[in-house]
Chain A
Amino acid sequence: MEIPIEEVLVQIAQVVGSQYVLRDASVLASYGADGFTLENVPPRAVILPGNADEVAETVRLLAAAGVPFLARGAGTSLSGGAIARQGAVIVHLSRMSRILSVDLKNGMVECEPGVVNRTISQRVAPDGFFYAPDPSSGQACTIGGNVAENAGGPHCLKYGVTANHILMVELVLADGERVRVGHLAAYPDPIDFLGLMLGSEGTFAVVTRVWVRVIRIPPSQSTVMALFDQVAWASQAVSAIISAGIIPASIEMMDQLAISAVERGTYRVGYPPDVAAVLLIEVDGSSVEVQSDTEAVLAILAKFHPRSVQTPHSEAERDLWWANRKTAFGAMGLISPRYYVQDGVIPRSRLPEVLARIAAIAEHYRIRIANVFHAGDGNLHPLLLYDDRDPDQVARVIQAGSEVLRVCVEVGGSITGEHGVGLEKLQEMSLQFSPEELQALRGLKASFDPQGLLNPGKVLPEPQ
């Protein structure tokens, strides 16, 4: 039975309040994209529920009417995860942004899905705790979105990604039923439903509450900045650090083009314009450990012809280095109208070779590619710069992006590390998965969402 959407929205308005059902065309247009700007589709409507009950009721009404829908947080997705396809309605969880409880004895914080990643650490920092996964968009992205994308970040090299820090989530399933998966006490389920949900990109359920693990801030840390005249030397240094058995909290790398953008931005470190690559390496732990690791890192760096190596003079200087690195994507606007970021993962030992191949791809397609990435875990972020007013360039950028991912898969890596598949890498899924594997994934999706209403047109390509 097909119920007209108008009628459903009237019913939903009675649940959430009419001011929280948005229909105005120009307002909907502002929801047309997220951090991924190659596609822009306004949703049919936007609903802003105020609590989990309202989410469940909203989902129940939408599902009964067969209206597709998706959850959205801060809309910082880089793979188009929060873009409404196929006439979907957006359930915007921005009003659900409260931290509900803090239990430091058990190292746990209970959050609504709209809580901003960084506010969790800010909340527990006075007590000496932090929430480890730190995506570069941490000042804006929400914990609900982090769960959906299984978000990573610079410090995930040592601490692991979102999946390693989520104890339990409350979900609204595709028919409006509310369930909890995972446990506050750490013991494994025979079937890991929590693991299934983490990184499912909102295609299985809507997250309405998250219990995250927070841990002690390490007593000591040290940051090292190294500048190189050749990208290859920097990437060889990264491989050498890892193979020496040191696990820094993070190893980040930016190349010359990326540096030129951030140095025009809000947080300027003062990198020399002609430097080819910068490495930011952070080690943390007990002070003895930090001292010996730092010395070992410095000794290794010295072997790879760095132009200079330094440590920050103050906490403020360290913060500036990180702010500079973490705002690199946003700063691309200063050197190009748009960018398209790829998220391939490769074995670290292949770093020098893959970077050379990416440079060749850039040359072949006549585009500029800036590189900002989590070098320590081989998670590349080539930023393909383009002008959206030039259709030919847009086409070349999309092809070049696909080619980069092909290289990643070829050397034994993956098409995505932390940004998700979204709508962006649908085609490339078949580079990594066989038709049989894809069919199995579709079966899994159907068991949670038989009507195919949740975040339609994402993650799984249509069968050929």
Chain B
Amino acid sequence: MIDTSVCVHCGLCLPACPTYQETGMESSSPRGRVFLLEAIAKGAEPSLESVRQIDECLDCRACEEVCPAHVPVGHRVDQFRRDHPQWIRRSGSGMREQRVVRWLTTPLGLHGFHWAVRLSQGPRLRRLSQRWLPLPLKSLSRGLPKTMPRQLGRARWRSKAVLEPGGNRLVVGLFLGCVMDAVFATTNHHTADLLSDVGRFVEVPMSQRCCGALSFHSGDIEQARRLAVANIKAFESVAEVVVNAAGCGAFFKEYAEIFEESSPWQAPAKALAARVVDVHQFLDDHRLPNLDQRPLPEARLTIHDACHLAHAQGIRQPLRDLLLRAGYQVIEMPEADRCCGSAGTYNLSHPAMAHRLKQKKAADVPQEVSGVATSNPGCMLQIQAGLQDAGRLLRVAHTVDWLWEAYHGNSH
């Protein structure tokens, strides 16, 4: 049982919570949710409204970061969702995505997803999909990149041997992700290039799978454990595993929490968690060359701090340092670390709140920038869609993509 009893109800978390900011209701604040959860834990029969309020939590971890006693509200809500799927279902949200997620996390499903997304980008299907897709998907599909690679990132690696097993210390494992690999495969290749730039051999184990975060957060803990075990085995031989998706990185670092205390996988999960390094941290620690004397043509960027990078992993400055060193100018947006509403599959399960947060985020993007840098596939889709909705022709890309363009792109 995740413990919220250390909460003394001081209320310092309130302004940090995106849903409280939107509704102004105590019950949709972290402290309010602790109240509701405590009442249910004491045996009160929850009303539909209270379940709805609890389940409207984005799990963005902003409250956990500002809490003086680090009360794990997001974790606790997540556990509530897993423990009481029947209540969540009755409240009319969540859980519908569980089957989709299970399919997506199989290799075949991932290929299917990739092709479905690719096909949907054809001009005709695009027009058709804009008419027939349910609203949340329609909006999200507007955030997809215009041109998508033909294959999953992993397929190209399988056909082309990039592995040059050298001295052990210089080999890093690269984690590819699921949505990341299906929709943003180029970002994975860019990541590999930059890792080579700082003198690393990149190993991409083909037996790696989705990190399991989507399964876990949609309540499917068994599937999450299976995926975790596959990844623990896949990355057994590398000293460091570089992850470029914020959500995956944060989930890897918490791998131990998904296994029972007595599970034999507990220790290996901890060991993997300790070897996982976020790509920004890695590239910042292992210095890319300084290009700041050469300003880039599309040079003004703003940063959206992905929740699971900023709040869950405490990584903010490395993104800024990297972009500055690569010759970009960074113009900060207000509340850069406020959730964009993507939040895993939240934009599918809670379309209304996700939509409000998406609009708010798009409106926060300063007028004078030419692009947005962020670090999670969900955020990239969501913010791109939000800007599209607002009629703004800005590109949203992974920080790694912006860096790659500076170090490898045509302008140099």
Contact = CB atoms under 8 A, between A and B. Distances in A.
Interface of A: 22, 24-27, 29-35, 37, 46, 48, 74-76, 92, 94-95, 97, 114, 116, 119, 137, 139-141, 262, 265-267, 327-334, 337-339
Contact of A76 (B11, B24, B32): B11
Contacts of B39: 26, 29
B15 A74 contact: yes
Interface string B29-58: 001110110010000101101100100000
Given A26-B47, A95-B24, A140-B15, A266 B67 contact: yes
Given A35-B10, A333-B8, A48 B25 contact: yes
A327 B11 contact: no
A34 B9 contact: yes
Contact of B11 (A26, A32, A34): A34
A64 B281 CA distance: 62
Contacts of A29: 35-36, 39
B68 A330 contact: yes
A25 B69 CA distance: 28
A137 B26 contact: no
Contact of B66 (A97, A139, A339): A139
Contacts of A137: 10-12
Contacts of A333: 5-8, 68-69, 71
Contacts of A48: 24-25
B14 interface: yes
Contacts of B208: none
B71 A94 contact: no
A74 B11 contact: yes
A332 B10 CA distance: 10
Contacts of B47: 24-27
A21 to B, nearest CB: 11
Contacts of A338: 8
B267 to A, nearest CB: 26
A266 B68 contact: yes
B70 interface: yes
A25 B45 CA distance: 11
B349 interface: no
14 contacts: A22-B27, A27-B47, A31-B26, A48-B24, A76-B11, A95-B24, A97-B24, A140-B12, A266-B67, A327-B68, A330-B10, A330-B68, A334-B6, A337-B5
Nearest to B4: A333
Contacts of A339: 8
Given A27-B25, A94-B20, 16 more contacts: A26-B44, A26-B47, A26-B49, A27-B26, A29-B39, A35-B11, A46-B25, A46-B26, A114-B24, A137-B12, A139-B15, A139-B16, A140-B14, A327-B68, A330-B69, A339-B8
Contacts of A141: 11
B13 interface: yes
Contacts of B7: 333
Interface of B: 5-16, 20, 24-27, 31-33, 35-36, 39, 44, 46-47, 49-50, 53, 65-71
List 3 A-B pairs, minimum CB-CB distance, nearest first. A330-B68, A94-B24, A327-B68
A139 B12 contact: yes
A48 B25 CA distance: 8
A420 to B, nearest CB: 15
A30 B23 CA distance: 14
Nearest to B50: A26
Nearest to A137: B12
A92 B24 contact: yes
Determine which residue in A139, A266, A330 has the highest number of CB atoms from chain B within 10 A of its CB, and name it: A330
A330 B49 contact: no
A116 B70 CA distance: 21
A113 to B, nearest CB: 12
Contacts of A25: 47
Contact of A22 (B20, B25, B33, B71): B25
Contacts of B32: 30-31
Contacts of B33: 30
Nearest to B13: A140
A332 B36 CA distance: 21
Contacts of A24: 47, 49-50
A94 B25 contact: yes
Determine which residue in B8, B26, B31, B47 has the highest number of CB atoms from chain A within 10 A of its CB, and name it: B26
Nearest to B20: A94
A26 B36 contact: yes
Contacts of A265: 68-70
Contacts of B67: 266, 330
Determine which residue in A24, A26, A139, A338 has the highest number of CB atoms from chain B within 10 A of its CB, and name it: A26
A74 B13 CA distance: 10
A183 B20 CA distance: 33
Contacts of B27: 22, 26-27, 30-31
Contacts of B15: 74, 116, 119, 139-140
A334 B69 contact: yes
A332 B24 contact: no
A332 B7 CA distance: 9
B9 A30 contact: no
A76 B49 CA distance: 24
Contact of A30 (B26, B66, B70): B26
Contact of A327 (B12, B26, B31, B71): B12
A35 B9 contact: yes
Contacts of A327: 12, 68
B68 A30 contact: no
Given A26-B50, A30-B36, A329 B24 contact: no
Nearest to B22: A95
A30 B71 CA distance: 17
A158 to B, nearest CB: 25
A137 B10 CA distance: 8
B290 to A, nearest CB: 23
A114 B34 CA distance: 22
A373 B184 CA distance: 53
A140 B20 CA distance: 12
Contacts of B49: 24, 26-27
Determine which residue in A27, A97, A328, A332 has the highest number of CB atoms from chain B within 10 A of its CB, and name it: A27
Nearest to A50: B24
A79 to B, nearest CB: 14
A331 B26 contact: no
Nearest to B9: A37
A329 B68 contact: yes
Nearest to A337: B5
Contact of A27 (B16, B44, B53, B66): B53
A92 B70 CA distance: 26
Contacts of B25: 22, 27, 46, 48, 92, 94
Contacts of B14: 74-75, 140
